[in-house]
Every structure is written in C-alpha cells, then in structure tokens.
Amino acid sequence: MGFAVAQAAQEAGASVVLVSGPVALPTPHGVRQVNVESAEEMLHAVLAEVDAADIFISTAAVADYRPSEPATQKIKKVADSLEVKMERTIDILATVAARAKRPFVVGFAAETNAVEEHALAKLERKNLDMIAANEVGHDKAFERQDNELLVLWKGGRRELGRGLKSSLARDLIALIAEAYRARCSAGGAAAVSAAQRLSR
C-alpha cells in the first residue's frame, strides 16, 4: 500500500521520497527511494528527510518492540524454552507529529477488530491530521492487490470501498490534498501553492 501511495502522490505532482524496509517491489517511477533494514534506520532516514516535507504519510507497520540484546551469533537449541527480553522501538509517526515544525501528518492503522474505534484513538493519541484505517487478518490487506480504507480526521470521515490498492491510493492522495489545502487556506499563499502542486 505504501508503494501505491508513493506512486499516486508522484502522479499527482508531488516530489516523493519513499523510505522503505526490505521488499521485493520495484521503486515507483519518479520516486526517490531510501532503503532501510531496521526500525531505528527508518527513524533516522525519516528525520533526515522530514524537514523538507509538506506532507508525511506513514503506511509502515514498524515493529513496536525489538530484542534489547540482539544475538551476534546463531542461538543454539540447548533448552526446551527460550526467553527474549524486548524493548520498545521509537514511534516514528508520533515523533514526526510531535515536532514543533511539522508537516501535515497522515498515519495508517491496521486493525483486527473495532477498526474505527481504534483508529480514532490513534488519531487523537498521536495528534495526527488524518488516519487511514483498514481491517487486517486472514486474506485481508497484506500480500493482496486490493484493500479498503476508512479515512478519518478531526470532524470527518470517508469510506473508500474495496478496490485495487493503486485506485485507493489515488483516492486517498486526492483526499489528503483536499484536507491539506483546507488547512493551508488560513496559513498563507506559500502553503496554498504547495497544496496546489500536489493536487495537479
């Protein structure tokens, strides 16, 4: 879905930087891709790029926890059970949203139940401008060409029914551009021109 969103944003006229973990997908045409392998690398890559961004869209399902003491060699099978101590990774989306100089921030919520309830809570908790939520589980969302999204923002919602991820991505980008223009209308001509470039 992230690659589809990057392609749709590029097609809409945006200059797009795609920060991606290991995938077997080709880089979307016209998009600059930054490859990372860990949540920490993704955080550093995002922070290196975000100051130049008008809009930040986070579709990544970044691991919430990581081993606190990663093994440097293969762990041999010597016991009937194994305990691995885990520690929280830094929340990339919340970090960007909490910056003093922040872009328009859009998050994603992959939920297995109570999709709208959990997505609204995430929207508020992380101080996002918009969130796109979808239900995941057996034969849903991941490793498929289709998806469906519920897009929420403060005081609004829009259901984007099931369709190809490429089509949903274009609809989502149009919705983001509309919301960004609305926010920029009170923020000066320079911000409005940035929104217009995205919506072309």
Task: Write out 114-165 in H/E/C secondary structure.
Answer: CHHHHHHHHHHHCCCCEEEEEECECCECCCCCEEEEEEEECCEEEEEEEEEH
Question: What is the average pLDDT value for the chain, to the nearest integer?
Answer: 86
DSSP string, 30-93: T-EEEE-SSHHHHHHHHHHHGGG-SEEEE-----SEEESS--SSPPP--SS-----EEEPP-HH
**Cα distance between residue 176 and residue 9, in whole Å:** 10
pTM over 0.85: no
Q: Write down the pLDDT at residue 139.
A: 52
Spell out the long-range contacts of 53-56 with Cβ–Cβ below 8 A and sequence spacing 24 or more. Answer: 53/17, 53/103, 54/103, 54/104, 54/180, 54/191, 54/194, 54/195, 54/198, 55/9, 55/14, 55/103, 55/104, 55/106, 55/176, 55/180, 55/198, 56/96, 56/102, 56/103, 56/104, 56/105, 56/106
Q: What are phi and psi of 199, to 5 degrees?
A: -85, -5
Q: Contact 113/140 with Cβ under 8 angstroms? A: no
pLDDT at 190: 43
Is residue 168 within 8 Å of 147, Cβ to Cβ? yes
pLDDT at 143: 54
Block mean pLDDT (10 aa), the chain, length 200? 94 96 93 94 95 93 83 88 90 94 93 89 95 71 70 92 91 94 68 45
Give pLDDT, residue 138.
Answer: 45
Characterize the bridge pairing of strands 104-111 and 130-135. Answer: parallel
Which structure tokens are listed for 114? 């109570």
Whole-number pLDDT of residue 196: 45
* Residues with Cβ within 8 Å of residue 131, at least 6 apart in sequence: 106, 107, 108, 109, 119, 120, 122, 123, 151, 152, 153
Fold of 2-62+88-199: Rossmann fold (3.40.50)
